[in-house]
Amino acid sequence: MALVLLIAVGLLVSGYFMGASRIVQGSLLTVLFGAVLAVQIGLPAGHPLREATGGSLRAWLIFAVVVGLAAAYTLVLKHLKSRAIKPDAPQQDGPFSDAELERYARHIVMREIGGAGQQRLKAARVLVIGAGGLGSPALLYLAAAGVGTIGVVDDDTVSLSNMQRQILHAMDRIGMAKVFSAQQGIAAINPHVEVLPYNRRLDAGNAHDLFEGFDLVLDGSDNFATRHLVNETCVALGVPLISAAITQWEGQISLYHPASGAPCYACIFPEIPAEGLAPSCAEAGVMGALPGVVGSMMAVEAIKHITGAGPTLKGELLIYDALYGESRKMRMERRDGCKVCGST
């Protein structure tokens, strides 16, 4: 048996240095094994050639079973890896593929973005709070723009009442967690984007760990308590924040970043309004297309911030009135004594 194994090793080594393919090397080993079996079956016990090739058919059959099981395990493992790492899996490092160059061509030809800006989008890590009215368009356009890694935090599930405005979701996903529905919707638009779904309620206990490692946060939450928590966490980590809000026909948006001299959210909205003073969309209603407009503005500001294309809304509050088709800006300054960013 040792002689046969030595011959097999010699064939493999020779094939390697001659550049033979694995198929050719496997074929040679199969022929060698077949010849050995023929010798063991065809020649009588004690024959010199049979003794030289192991002398026992049973030993070779056991060897064949062991090799077969090892080969089967290797093939199954390779198949599982091929399913886990697909050819279209997101690649945040390295040059663009031909598909990516065609996909992002309209960005790359723009003077303000270009190839360098598109590369920054590919390398960016953006966290979106909420996959609802504002999060839906923001997530769709961030993915379409080629933001390489997108995290999304939400503990809600898709419901029929969401269909009026939350365009990221679909009827066949009613009852599904919104973060997983968002993951499916994004994958259908851009397979080059990595989505990190966090199906949990944001709170003071997990906010720091969730935000750490992201370059930018977009807050599309629907309550003041969450907005203040998001702001406090962003300020503590030095992460810029794009925060927006909507109600009925009106929306507002700004980029808060005290680390670069701009105010934080608490500078402008220092207190949480008393209950009933700021009703939610469920209580006051919201025109269906409004979150599409404001959520898209969030994506625009994110793209500008990441690529450096033009001035952002840092230090300005943009207010959009859809009923009268008007928008206006308000200058904002950091507030002395702000309890959140006053010491930064």
Least confident stretch, 25-29, 33-37, 139-143: 25-29
Q: Where would I find the H helices in the chain?
A: 2-18, 22-42, 48-52, 57-84, 98-103, 105-108, 114-123, 135-145, 178-189, 207-211, 224-237, 265-268, 281-284, 290-307
Is residue 89 assigned to a domain? no
Total-model pTM:
0.72
Task: Let me know whether 147 and 80 are in one domain.
Answer: no
Question: What pairs with residue 245 in β-bridges?
Answer: 252
Work out the number of other CB atoms within 10 angstroms of the CB of residue 155.
14
Radius of gyration of the chain (CA): 31
Is residue 314 assigned to a domain? yes
264 pLDDT more than 70? yes
| DSSP helix/strand/coil, 308 | coil
Is residue 106 assigned to a domain? yes
Predicted confidence at residue 70, as pLDDT, reads 75
Predicted confidence at residue 5, as pLDDT, reads 66
Least confident stretch, 14-28, 272-286, 309-323: 14-28
**Helix 22-42 and helix 57-84, axial crossing angle in degrees, nearest 10:** 160
Q: Containing domain of residue 10, as a range?
A: 2-84
Least confident stretch, 45-49, 88-92, 93-97: 88-92
The encoded tokens of residue 148 equal: 């390489």
Task: Let me know whether 65 and 171 are in one domain.
Answer: no
Predicted confidence at residue 283, as pLDDT, reads 76
Task: Let me know whether 65 and 118 are in one domain.
Answer: no
Q: With beta carbons less than 8 A apart as the criterion, state whether 208 and 237 touch.
A: yes
Q: To the nearest 10°, the Cα dihedral for 207, 209, 215, 218?
A: -20
109 pLDDT more than 70? yes
Task: Let me know whether 156 and 52 are in one domain.
Answer: no
Find which of 31-40, 52-61, 191-200 is predicted with most confidence, using mean pLDDT: 191-200
Is residue 258 assigned to a domain? yes
Q: At residue 245, what is the residue type?
A: A
Structural domains in the chain (count): 2
Query: Phi/psi of residue 14, each to 5°?
Result: -60, -45
Predicted confidence at residue 11, as pLDDT, reads 59
Task: Let me know whether 149 and 74 are in one domain.
Answer: no
Boundary of a domain, candidates 84, 109, 142 = 84
Task: Let me know whether 170 and 293 are in one domain.
Answer: yes
The encoded tokens of residue 122 equal: 């590919």
Q: What is the DSSP letter of 127?
A: E
Work out the number of other CB atoms within 10 angstroms of the CB of residue 157.
17
Task: Let me know whether 58 and 177 are in one domain.
Answer: no
Q: With beta carbons less than 8 A apart as the criterion, state whether 259 and 238 touch.
A: yes
Predicted confidence at residue 38, as pLDDT, reads 75
Task: Let me know whether 179 and 272 are in one domain.
Answer: yes
Is residue 340 assigned to a domain? no
Predicted confidence band of residue 84 (pLDDT cuts 50, 70, 90): very low
Is residue 341 assigned to a domain? no
Is residue 226 assigned to a domain? yes
Task: Let me know whether 278 and 194 are in one domain.
Answer: yes
Q: Is 218 exposed, middle or buried (0-12, 13-18, 19+ CB in 10 A)?
A: buried
> What digits encode the pLDDT tens for the residues 207-258?
999 999 999 999 999 899 999 999 999 999 999 999 999 999 999 999 999 9
Query: Phi/psi of residue 194, each to 5°?
Result: -95, 125
In this prediction, residues 249-268 reach a mean pLDDT of: 95
39-62 as b/e, with b when 16 or more CB fall inside 10 Å? bbeeeeeeeeebeebbbeeeebee
Task: Let me know whether 149 and 245 are in one domain.
Answer: yes
Task: Let me know whether 116 and 188 are in one domain.
Answer: yes
118-132 as b/e, with b when 16 or more CB fall inside 10 Å? bbbbbebbbbbbbbb
Task: Let me know whether 116 and 70 are in one domain.
Answer: no
In this prediction, residues 65-78 reach a mean pLDDT of: 71
- Distance (Å, whole) CA 29 – CA 288: 68
Is residue 159 assigned to a domain? yes
Predicted confidence at residue 224, as pLDDT, reads 92
CATH of the domain at 232: 3.40.50.720
Q: With beta carbons less than 8 A apart as the criterion, state whether 148 and 123 touch.
A: yes
Boundary of a domain, candidates 37, 62, 84 = 84
Boundary of a domain, candidates 57, 84, 111 = 84
The mean pLDDT value of the chain amounts to 86
The encoded tokens of residue 39 equal: 């010798």
